[in-house]
């Protein structure tokens, strides 16, 4: 459980928390299991803080510093983490459903078995992130950097990966059913095969290794064609009315 004085401090205000952190730079804050649902923690200093099992549902964490923080099993549904610094943080089995992680720095984070259903990771930096077994159904990863990330067994069904960089990413056993890979870069991606790519929505202008590109051209050439505008509109309309 969280230390009561630590929990009380952060609940008061970000300013109070900042002052305490400055006076006690060597102390590792303990906020395990704390309820911070809908808390306003913009640009908060949460470096190396223990937030395992914490409730951060719909918390405002824009620009917050969560480097090397422990958040295993935390509830981050609907949280706003735009431009947050999350390098090296442990998010194992966290729930990020519908969270906003746009332009967040997730370099070398642990997102294994995390749930990122409909999460917004537009232009997020996920270099060398561990994303094994994560659920990214209908997640937005357009323009995201996933270079050398480990996505083994991740579920990316219906995900938006337009313009994403997956160079040298480990895609072993990844589900890409109906994923949008328009202009995505999959050069030197590890353990990606023709069967996985045959199930995507589109590979229009995607970058692939020559052997895979040859197989796509021979067997699934239609995936390389530009998606029709009406198809895009129908897809958007369907998602608007769909009940999760």
Over residues 27-67, the pLDDT tens digits come to: 889 999 999 999 999 999 999 999 999 999 999 999 999 99
17 closest CA partner among 45, 42, 39: 45
Least confidently predicted of 10-14, 148-152, 237-241? 237-241
Can you tell me the distance from the alpha carbon of 212 to that of 231, in angstroms, rounded to the nearest whole number?
26
Q: Which two tokens stand for residue 115?
A: 């749930």
Query: What global pTM score does this model have?
Result: 0.91
Position 242 pLDDT exceeds 70: no
CATH 2.160.20.80 fits domain 1-120? yes
What is the model's pLDDT at position 27?
84
Mean pLDDT, range 79-87, rounded to an integer = 98
What is the model's pLDDT at position 1?
43
CATH superfamily of 123-244: E3 ubiquitin-protein ligase SopA (2.160.20.80)
Mean pLDDT, range 166-175, rounded to an integer = 98
CATH 2.160.20.80 region(s) of the chain?
1-120, 123-244
Q: What is the dihedral of CA 188, 164, 115, 234, to 10 degrees?
A: -120
Judged on CB neighbours under 10 Å (0-12, 13-18, 19+), 86 is buried
Contacts of 99 (CB under 8 A, 6+ apart): 76, 77, 78, 79, 80, 81, 116, 119, 120
Q: Which two tokens stand for residue 205?
A: 């202008």
Q: For 161-170, how does the pLDDT look when each residue is reduced to its tens digit (9 = 90+)?
A: 999 999 999 9
Q: Which two tokens stand for residue 40?
A: 């306003």
Can you tell me the distance from the alpha carbon of 181 to that of 229, in angstroms, rounded to the nearest whole number?
16
What is the model's pLDDT at position 215?
97
CA 142 to chain centre: 11
Confidence of residue 25 (pLDDT cuts 50, 70, 90): confident
3-state secondary structure of 35: strand
Can you tell me the distance from the alpha carbon of 149 to that of 169, in angstroms, rounded to the nearest whole number?
5
Can you tell me the distance from the alpha carbon of 136 to that of 154, in angstroms, rounded to the nearest whole number?
7
Can you tell me the distance from the alpha carbon of 106 to that of 189, in angstroms, rounded to the nearest whole number?
19
What is the model's pLDDT at position 228?
83
């Amino acid at each position: 459980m969280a230390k009561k004085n630590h929990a009380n401090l952060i609940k008061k205000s970000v300013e109070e928390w900042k002052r305490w952190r400055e006076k006690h730079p060597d102390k590792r804050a303990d906020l395990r299991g704390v309820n911070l649902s809908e808390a306003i923690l913009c640009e908060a200093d949460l470096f190396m803080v223990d937030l395992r099992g914490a409730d951060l549902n719909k918390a405002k964490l824009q620009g917050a510093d969560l480097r090397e923080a422990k958040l295993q099993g935390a509830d981050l549904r609907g949280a706003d983490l735009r431009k947050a610094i999350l390098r090296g943080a442990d998010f194992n089995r966290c729930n990020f459903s519908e969270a906003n992680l746009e332009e967040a720095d997730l370099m070398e984070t642990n997102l294994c078995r995390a749930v990122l259903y409909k999460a917004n990771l537009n232009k997020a930096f996920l270099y060398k992130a561990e994303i094994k077994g994560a659920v990214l159904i209908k997640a937005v990863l357009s323009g995201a950097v996933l270079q050398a990330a480990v996505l083994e067994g991740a579920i990316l069904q219906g995900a938006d990966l337009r313009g994403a960089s997956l160079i040298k990413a480990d895609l072993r056993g990844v589900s890409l059913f109906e994923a949008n890979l328009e202009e995505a870069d999959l050069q030197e991606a590890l353990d990606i095969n023709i069967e996985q790519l045959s199930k995507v929505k589109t590979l229009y202008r995607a970058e692939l290794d020559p052997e895979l590109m040859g197989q796509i051209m021979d067997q699934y050439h239609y995936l390389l064609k530009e998606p029709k505008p009406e198809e895009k509109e129908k897809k958007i309309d369907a998602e608007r009315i769909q009940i999760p």
